Amino acid sequence: MTIKVLGSGCTNCKTLERRTLEALDELRVRADVEKVQDVKEIASFGLMHTPGLVIDGKVVSQGGVPSVEILKEIIAREFAAAQS
């Protein structure tokens, strides 16, 4: 699983990265997590608002910072979809 945290490096972007790592740890799911700050790459995902979260090429969140619990739900759903 590859997860990208999209954003300029603002406080919300850093919070999203931290919460994502926490959710992965709690779920015991392994993933490559990458911070993406390049505007062109962010735009390539069609993101209208940052921060954004992309799992295996699919935008799963944008314009806000979900709670760890919500992130766990998103990650578990995407992980299950990748396994089927």
Q: pLDDT, tens digit, for every residue of 10-47?
A: 999 999 999 999 999 999 999 999 999 999 999 999 98
Measured CA to CA, the distance from residue 21 to residue 29 in angstroms comes to 10
* Coil, strand or helix at 20: helix
Read off the pTM.
0.94
Decide if pLDDT at 48 tops 90.
Answer: no
Q: pLDDT, tens digit, for every residue of 71-82?
A: 999 999 999 888
Q: Mean pLDDT, to the nearest integer, of 55-80?
A: 96
* Residues known to be catalytic: 10, 13
- Cβ pair 53, 3 in contact under 8 A: yes
Q: What is the pLDDT of residue 12?
A: 96
User: What is the helix (H) or strand (E) element at residue 36, kind and residue range?
Assistant: strand 32-36
Q: What is the pLDDT of residue 29?
A: 94
Cβ neighbors of 76 (< 8 A, separation 6 or more) are: 27, 29
